[in-house]
């Protein structure tokens, strides 16, 4: 019988040099993963507002081609602002009653599905929050920009000139903790006690005047079709007005549907064509719409209003 040689013993514990190498490699991998995660949470370059909010660039910065807030992923237009809750967010005002003609303040929070105040918003067209206010007969239009406190409470001075029910739209893009951006428009009613005498909507027209400026519209919106609307501006002395950028664009167009006050917000092409801005508008359904076009000339922002019938 052949003598058996004792088997070689192999230690299950790595030597010190192997252990040090494994720790170094593991640390590098962990650092890379943490850096990637933090980059997604911060959403890229950001600025701070207050002590608890982070703002980041929106996915379509100023200079992007014309686009419409309210389009779904397939590109179809949908009116917004019909509810105080949408897309997991809720608009919660501190108070809704105002006195006619008296300066007041509107205060509100945007809360998430867990009822926590949201404090992270993307900057869209130079502002993290666009607030549109209009009476339910579509008069008294205002486009405001509230400021946010560290606890997520937005506030803005607000005067509602006449009695009636007014609609306030908060138009924003919220940033989730994982960096996802969610655009939403939430609406609530504001109440001004007193005798309410609604005004009839002006007839449909392709031209209007504001502060002596003549504004002419060319093009007609259509249901389910992206149609170009162009606008030309003439100064009070009859010359061609020179448009200036306002909130990063040559104009901002809000359309409200008569009846339910469904909301559309449209931005123009980044450059003028022969001095005129072009907006690509898609309406979701037939009806009568009121258009509010903010434009800037000589450092002053004015609003031209049009009634449009969409068959």
pLDDT digits (tens, 9 = 90+) for 28-56: 333 333 333 333 333 333 333 333 454 54
CB atoms within 10 A of CB 68: 20
CATH no. of 207-310? 2.60.40.1220
Give 77's pLDDT tier (boundaries 50, 70, 90): low
User: Quick one: pLDDT at residue 62?
Assistant: 34
**From 16-20, 265-269, 296-300, the region with the lowest mean pLDDT:** 16-20
Can you tell me the mean pLDDT for 246-263?
96
Does this chain's domain 56-192 share its CATH topology with 207-310?
A: yes
pLDDT over threshold 50, residue 231: yes
pLDDT score for 178: 87
Average pLDDT over residues 150-169: 98
Give the pLDDT of residue 63.
Answer: 34
> Range with the lowest mean pLDDT among 40-44, 229-233, 236-240?
40-44
pLDDT at 227: 96
For residue range 90-149, list pLDDT tens digits in order.
999 999 999 999 999 999 999 999 999 999 999 999 999 999 999 999 999 999 999 999
Q: Let me know: does 219 contact 230? Beta carbons within 8 Å.
A: yes
Which pLDDT value is given to residue 42?
Answer: 33
For residues 1-21, average pLDDT = 40
When pLDDT is cut at 50, 70 and 90, the band that residue 78 belongs to is: confident
Place of tokens 């720790």: 23
**pLDDT value of position 213:** 98
The answer, as to whether pTM is greater than 0.75, is yes
- Hey, where are the domains in the chain? 56-192, 207-310
% of residues, the chain, pLDDT over 90: 73
Domain 56-192, CATH: 2.60.40.1930
Say if strands 142-144 and 129-135 run parallel, antiparallel, or are unpaired.
Answer: antiparallel
Q: Which of 273, 148, 93, 295 is nearest to 213 (CA)?
A: 295
pLDDT, tens digit, 9 for 90 and up, residues 177-208: 888 999 999 999 999 999 999 999 999 999 99
Q: What is the 3-state secondary structure (H, E, C) of the chain?
A: CCCCCCCCCCCCCCCHHHHHHHHHHHHHHHHHHHHHHHHHHHCCCEEEECCCEEEEECCCCCCCCCEEECECCCCCECCECCCCEECCEEEEECCCECCCCCCEEEEEEEECCCCCECCCEEEECCECEEEEEEECCCCCCEEECCEECCCCEEEEEECCCCCEEEEEEEEEEEECCCCCEEEEEEEEEEEECCCCCCCCCCCCCCEEEECCEEEEEECCCEECECEEEEEEEECCCCCECCCECECCECCEEEEEECCCCCEEEEEECCCCECCECEEEECECCCEEEEEEEEEEECCEEEEEEEEEEEC
Q: Is the pLDDT of residue 226 over 70?
A: yes
Compute the mean pLDDT over every residue in the chain, rounded to the nearest whole number: 82
Written as six digits, the tokens of 217 are 């519209």
pLDDT in tens, 62-71: 333 454 555 4
């Amino acid at each position: 019988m052949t003598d058996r040689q004792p088997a070689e013993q192999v230690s299950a514990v790595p030597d010190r040099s192997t252990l040090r190498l494994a720790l170094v490699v593991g640390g590098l991998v962990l650092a890379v993963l943490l850096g990637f995660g933090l980059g997604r949470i911060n959403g890229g370059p950001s600025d701070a507002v207050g002590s608890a909010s982070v703002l980041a660039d929106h996915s379509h910065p100023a200079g992007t081609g014309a686009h419409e807030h309210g389009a779904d992923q397939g590109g179809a237009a949908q009116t917004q602002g019909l509810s105080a809750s949408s897309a997991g967010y809720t608009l919660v005002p501190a108070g809704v009653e105002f006195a006619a003609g008296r300066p007041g303040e509107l205060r509100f929070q945007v809360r998430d599905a867990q009822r926590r105040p949201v404090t992270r918003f993307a900057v869209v067209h130079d502002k993290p929050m666009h607030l549109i206010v209009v009476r339910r007969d579509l008069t008294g239009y205002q486009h405001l920009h509230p400021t946010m406190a560290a606890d997520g409470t937005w506030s803005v001075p607000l005067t509602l000139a006449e009695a009636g029910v007014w609609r306030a739209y908060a138009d924003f893009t919220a940033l989730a903790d994982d960096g996802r951006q969610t655009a939403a428009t939430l609406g609530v009613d504001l109440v001004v006690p007193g005798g309410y005498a609604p005004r009839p909507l002006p007839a449909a027209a392709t031209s209007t005047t504001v502060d002596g400026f003549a504004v002419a519209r060319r093009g007609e919106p259509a249901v389910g079709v992206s149609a170009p609307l162009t606008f030309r501006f003439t100064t009070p002395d009859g010359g061609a007005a020179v448009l200036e950028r306002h909130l990063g664009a040559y104009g901002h167009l809000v359309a409200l549907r008569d009846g339910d006050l469904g909301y559309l917000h449209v931005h123009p092409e980044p450059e003028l064509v022969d001095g005129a801005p072009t907006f690509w508008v898609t309406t979701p359904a037939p009806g009568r719409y009121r258009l509010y076009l903010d434009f800037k000339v000589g450092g002053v922002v004015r609003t031209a209003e049009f009634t449009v019938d969409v068959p």
